[in-house]
């Protein structure tokens, strides 16, 4: 009986290893070479992460990004979010809800998503909230409150590397591995901050 359980356990480990190290990478490389899912300027990247919720338990976090720049190995992203309605403030973090994440996986290509300059998000004293100023300057917000920050930054600045990831790692490994400035003027890859990519859509 114990021998049978051991054999079953080993088979499970082998199957898991095969899926994780052989099948998943093969499937990713095949998928990312198709027009619908390849990495390019304007791509939407969906990433689901497991992390701490501030206590001793873990929970899932859901992120949606738009590729706003590709410069060599630097892939700069901007978070897809929704402007709050007046009096109904949304959470201020970058993640979205599970329901919204799943809905957008099937509909994001049909939704109007407005690029908004960072400075404009603080106009009229209400940060990240839909207001008359934004509606006048960005009429497309009348169709949808979804937006991304249209960030204009110098590649030499520290702020530039807040959401910059390795193009090579995205294509080869299906992971978001950031370039960071770690007490230096020379960017380095931070493998410890890796995030899994679930889907790329064009």
**Beta strands in 44-168, from DSSP E residues, in sequence order:** 44-52, 58-71, 74-79, 81-82, 114-116, 146-149, 164-166
| pLDDT surpasses 90 at 19 | no
| CB contact at 8 A, 25 and 49 | no
| CB contact at 8 A, 21 and 15 | no
Average pLDDT over residues 102-129: 86
The 10 Å Cβ neighbour count of residue 89 is 12
The 10 Å Cβ neighbour count of residue 48 is 17
**DSSP per-residue letters across 84-101:** BBTTBPPP-SS-B-HHHH
CB under 8 Å to 51, separation ≥6 — which residues?
Answer: 58, 59, 61
| pLDDT surpasses 60 at 82 | yes
| CB contact at 8 A, 180 and 162 | no
pLDDT tens digit sequence for 31-79 = 888 989 999 999 999 998 876 666 667 788 899 999 999 999 999 999 9
pLDDT tens digit sequence for 149-195 = 887 766 566 777 889 999 999 999 999 999 998 877 788 999 998 99
Q: Note the pLDDT of residue 167.
A: 96
pLDDT band at 10 (very low <50, low <70, confident <90, very high): confident
| pLDDT surpasses 60 at 92 | no
Tell me the two tokens of residue 149.
Answer: 């920050």
> What is the average pLDDT score of the chain?
85
Tell me the two tokens of residue 47.
Answer: 């990433």
| CB contact at 8 A, 107 and 141 | no
Q: Note the pLDDT of residue 93.
A: 58
Rounded to the nearest 10 degrees, how much is the dihedral formed by the CA atoms of 129, 134, 135, 137? -170
């Amino acid at each position: 009986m114990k021998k049978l359980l051991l054999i079953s356990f080993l088979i499970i480990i082998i199957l898991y290893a095969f899926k994780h190290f052989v099948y998943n990478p093969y499937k990713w490389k095949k998928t990312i070479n198709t027009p619908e899912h390849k990495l390019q300027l304007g791509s939407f990247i969906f990433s689901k992460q497991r992390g701490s919720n501030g206590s001793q338990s873990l929970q899932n976090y859901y992120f949606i990004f738009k590729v706003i720049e590709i410069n060599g190995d630097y892939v700069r992203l901007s978070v897809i979010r929704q402007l709050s309605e007046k009096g109904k403030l949304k959470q201020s973090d970058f993640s979205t809800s599970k329901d919204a994440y799943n809905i957008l996986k099937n509909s994001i290509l049909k939704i109007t998503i407005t690029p908004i300059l960072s400075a404009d998000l603080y106009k009229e004293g209400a940060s990240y909230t839909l207001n008359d100023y934004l509606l006048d300057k960005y009429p497309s917000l009348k169709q949808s409150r979804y937006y991304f920050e249209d960030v204009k930054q110098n590649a030499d600045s520290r702020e530039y590397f807040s959401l910059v990831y390795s193009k090579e790692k995205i294509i080869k490994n299906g992971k978001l591995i950031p370039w960071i400035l770690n007490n230096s003027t020379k960017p380095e890859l931070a493998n410890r901050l890796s995030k899994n990519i679930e889907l790329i859509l064009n």
